[in-house]
């Protein structure tokens, strides 16, 4: 069974977006994964199709209603659906490569894209939504973040990358950033490719790449080395 993604959003026209291009788009066309978008507003109960209301206790902005989001979830991802349920949120746990690999090995994902000031906490708790963040910043909504999560997962699905080994040497695999890369021409603007990479000695090349990865990680992301 292919990886199934269901995205609940107020802007289904934003999908597939970047996911319809390049590797992800080709994989979508082949049926390696599938995408369903759900318009949350279709589950509103008033003539204005309202999905939000003012925050309890006062304050700025609006909050997405628990009953509307729950109705959309219940119809499109019921209790018997084995897929994990996510809410893209800046207060969620940071998305990691390890989590991405786990998801790529599973049946798919159900993703709720928040808008406004956020989503009523009651539906997050009642429908077991796992809050996930793609960085320490705030976006206009969860749609772009959902595409980030899906892109990271889809590229790891079997057959999506031309060379499966590519995914084993990337940044964050083994808690290291990736080593520098070079290609032709051998000299450019007075800068040359490190001699070891043209030596043909694969043991030395592997050692150099490991050393460079450790050096870069220590300089830019020392927090990874402690994991």
pLDDT (tens digit, 9 = 90+) per residue, 164-221? 656 566 667 788 999 999 999 999 999 999 999 999 999 999 999 999 999 999 999 9
Pick the CATH number of 169-225 from 2.30.130.10, 2.102.10.10, 3.10.20.90, 1.10.1270.20: 1.10.1270.20
**CATH classification (class only), 3-154:** alpha beta
- pTM for the full model? 0.91
Q: What is the Cα Rg of the chain in Å?
A: 21
Mean pLDDT of 59-88: 97
Predicted confidence at residue 169, as pLDDT, reads 61
- The domain segmentation of the chain, as residue ranges, is 3-154, 169-225
Positive or negative CA dihedral for 85, 87, 93, 95? positive
| Burial readout 9-39 (b: 16 or more C-beta within 10 A, e: otherwise) | bbbbebbbbebeeebbeebbeeebbebebbb
* pLDDT at 40 exceeding the cut of 90: yes
Mean pLDDT of 129-133: 98
- For residue range 138-151, list pLDDT tens digits in order: 999 999 999 999 99
Tokens of 82: 């084995």
Mean pLDDT lowest among 33-42, 95-104, 111-120, 158-167: 158-167
């Amino acid at each position: 069974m292919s990886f199934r993604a269901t995205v609940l959003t107020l802007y289904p026209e934003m999908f597939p977006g970047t996911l319809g291009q390049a590797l992800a788009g080709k994989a979508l066309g082949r049926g390696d994964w599938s995408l369903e978008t759900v318009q949350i507003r279709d589950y509103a109960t008033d003539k204005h199709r309202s999905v939000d209301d003012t925050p309890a206790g006062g304050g700025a902005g609006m909050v997405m209603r628990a009953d509307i989001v729950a109705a959309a979830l219940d119809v499109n991802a019921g209790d018997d659906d084995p897929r994990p349920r996510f809410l893209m949120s800046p207060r969620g746990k940071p998305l990691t490569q390890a989590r991405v690999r786990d998801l790529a090995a599973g049946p798919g994902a159900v993703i709720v894209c928040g808008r406004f000031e956020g989503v009523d906490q009651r539906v997050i708790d009642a429908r077991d939504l796992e809050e996930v963040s793609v960085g320490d910043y705030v976006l206009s909504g969860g749609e772009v973040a959902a595409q980030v999560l899906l892109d990271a997962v889809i590229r790891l699905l079997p057959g999506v990358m031309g060379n499966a080994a590519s995914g084993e040497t990337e940044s964050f695999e083994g808690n290291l950033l990736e080593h520098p890369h070079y290609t032709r021409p051998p000299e450019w603007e007075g800068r040359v490719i490190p001699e070891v990479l043209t030596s043909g000695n694969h043991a030395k090349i592997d050692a150099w790449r490991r050393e460079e990865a450790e050096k870069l990680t220590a300089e830019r992301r020392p927090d990874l080395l402690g994991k």
